A = this chain, B = another copy of it.
Amino acid sequence: MSSKTILPKPRPLPLGSPRPVDPCAACAVRVLSVCNAIGDEHLGRLAAIVTNHRVAARKNFVLEGEPADSLFNITGGTVKVYKLLPDGRQQITGFLFRGDFLGLSSNERYAYGAEAITEVRYCRFPRRPLEQLLTDFPAMERRLLGIASNELAAAQEQMLLLGRKTARERLASFLRMLLERTTRAGGPADRIELAMTRSDIGDYLGLTLETVSRSLSELKRQKVIALVGSAHVTVLERAELDRIADGI
């Protein structure tokens, strides 16, 4: 709890300001996130309950089994969400980036942990006040249902990957997913930055880090991708990557 910082509450504005300038109104991530479902004129309601935080790489900021009394909006950095078996086996259920939402829970307690891979910035919403906000702004609840539906579709796609794809197909699917994400965020259409380790990729794809490394080397040998260092991937043959990912 030492590395987080709380932004000041919105303060009175000089007369003549065009509209309230509070942390949420100024937020560049809003358009990507659940917060966009609330009208400009009511952003103060959101700003009143939200706190802004920053955590260092490797810090766990959600612990499996802890009371689930917060929800989060990632505003920067990369997060891994994971589940553990008692003997330490880990399954990463998702990587989160700028604009992603975290914390939907049916339960009293978190059923997963979340760890910052890079330095991460996020907004925290206390559950009860947020629920009141959802009641007052049905558009926000509708948006949240849409987000949940999206995540459910992604989870089913991941089950197909974990249950039925080969190591090579899993890697191709993973790279494609990252490519789609960065492209949608306005990034380049053929370059990926891997913020996570081979071990994390393995824990996401249900493989060992060695198999991840071997599969990447194989894709590289076949000139589907190129590696610059170990974190920069350039996709040379996008169509071929898609074919491999779909098991064709």
Contact surface of A with B, Cβ cutoff 8 Å: 83, 85-87, 89-91, 93, 104-107, 111-112, 134-135, 138, 141-142, 144-146, 148-153, 155-160, 162-165, 203-206, 246-248
* CB nearest neighbor in B for A151: B152
Query: Is there an interface contact between A156 and B83, defined as CB atoms closer than 8 Å?
Result: yes
Chain B residues within an 8 Å CB radius of A157: 83, 111
Chain A to chain B contacts (Cβ below 8 Å), 11 pairs = A91-B164, A93-B159, A93-B160, A106-B149, A106-B153, A141-B141, A141-B142, A148-B149, A152-B155, A159-B159, A159-B162
Which secondary structure dominates chain A's binding surface? helix
Chain B residues within an 8 Å CB radius of A141: 138, 141-142, 145
Query: Is there an interface contact between A155 and B159, defined as CB atoms closer than 8 Å?
Result: yes
A26 to chain B, nearest CB (A): 28
CA of A145 to CA of B140, assembled, Å: 12
* CB nearest neighbor in B for A150: B106
Chain B residues within an 8 Å CB radius of A89: 164-165, 247
